[in-house]
Amino acid sequence: MKIYKVAVIAGDGIGPEVIGEGIKVLNKVAAMDSGFRFDFTYFPWGCEFYAKHGKMMDENGMEELKKFDAIYLGAVGFPGVPDHISLWDLLLRIRKDFDQYVNIRPVHLLKGAKTSLVDVKREDINLLFIRENTEGEYAGAGEWLFKGQQNEVVLQNSVFSRKGTERIIRYAFEAARKEGRSLTSISKANALNYSMVFWDQVFEEISSEYPDVETASYLVDAAAMLMVKDPKRFEVVVTSNLFGDILTDLGAAIAGGIGLAAGANINPERKYPSMFEPIHGSAPDIAGKGIANPLASIWSASQMLDFFGYEEYGKQVLGAIEDLLIEDETLTPDMGGTASTAEVGNRIIDIMETRLVSGKLNV
């Protein structure tokens, strides 16, 4: 039996509540297959840990995490801890130190989910964002000069290396080829006359290696408009760290809301563990009330199954989410329902069992 070691960082706010339901689903999938199981190890890191110890994780935290096959992250952030500390000292540290340079964000309108757009077919919203995840605008390079003085100057530098740019664009081309879909590059070369001109140049260079993949390129502002007006023109999308961060939240808005938005941070070479997370915040205003939406967490669990090579199970988890949305009975308040977090997770389990009995779940 294959045992997958998963580090769980439930984090802050609603993180522990939604991650708990994702773990419930992962264990259910493993129970349906005698070939593998999950071994979860919990780490109490996050803002509460910071309040007690003055740091977001243990000093040897990164060394500890290296021992695992994957990381399952809940949410990071809480009042009293500056966002740049909670982000840079935990989430971004893991992404960068473990070279998780591929961020995968599906923007897919599931059956039963409601979009904020009008006159758009469900199948028109089916985008796969591949975002550069370790450098670019979030490289953390810059200076703060003459702080507090009249001549104060702040420099925030973007970093686009040839290695980093080539590998994310090539990864996106491979994904587009595998799925038989088009690839769109999003940049801003008209205004960012070094970094984005370079990005466009590398995209053009690599596209010559993939003559079978249809390509397009848009400026980020035009892309944002077109995602709302004509989302069907986008299939696989590759873009930089900042643009990907912004556009995928727009994607969440048109694909059912932030409660359905999942993300995977991948180290393709598997030298380090990859990390899977719902991309919503910690929502401290509803933490502990048992009403947080766990569907994004469960979707990110399906991404973990895909990563481990169990794509059929990943599809079946998404199928269970769709069945839940279609029946429209067991939903949390953010989706117009009255169900609790645990009730949603339990209903997903029930649906998976029903799908198994009906033959929809192939095990």
| Average pLDDT, integer, range 179-186 | 98
CA distance linking residue 112 with residue 122, whole number of Å: 9
Tell me the pLDDT band of 361, cut-offs 50, 70 and 90. low
| Average pLDDT, integer, range 238-262 | 96
Compute the mean pLDDT over every residue in the chain, rounded to the nearest whole number: 96
* Range name among 159-173, 230-244, 289-303, 344-358 with the lowest pLDDT average: 344-358
Total H helices, total E strands in the chain:
12, 12
Query: Does the pLDDT of residue 363 top 60, yes or no?
Result: no
- Would you say 103 and 133 are in contact if contact means Cβ atoms under 8 Å apart? yes
Tell me the pLDDT band of 355, cut-offs 50, 70 and 90. confident
CA distance linking residue 290 with residue 163, whole number of Å: 44
Predicted confidence at residue 356, as pLDDT, reads 74
CB within 8 A of 31, min separation 6: which ones?
none
| Average pLDDT, integer, range 194-206 | 98
| Average pLDDT, integer, range 14-23 | 98
Q: What is the full DSSP assignment across 51-82?
A: HHHSSSS-TTHHHHHTT-SEEEEEE---TTS-
Query: Any idea what DSSP says for residue 328?
Result: T
Predicted confidence at residue 62, as pLDDT, reads 98
Predicted confidence at residue 359, as pLDDT, reads 63
| Average pLDDT, integer, range 239-254 | 97
CA distance linking residue 117 with residue 120, whole number of Å: 6
- Would you say 234 and 127 are in contact if contact means Cβ atoms under 8 Å apart? yes
Q: Tokens 């702040």 appear where?
A: 154
How much of the chain exceeds pLDDT 90, in percent? 96
Query: Does the pLDDT of residue 362 top 90, yes or no?
Result: no
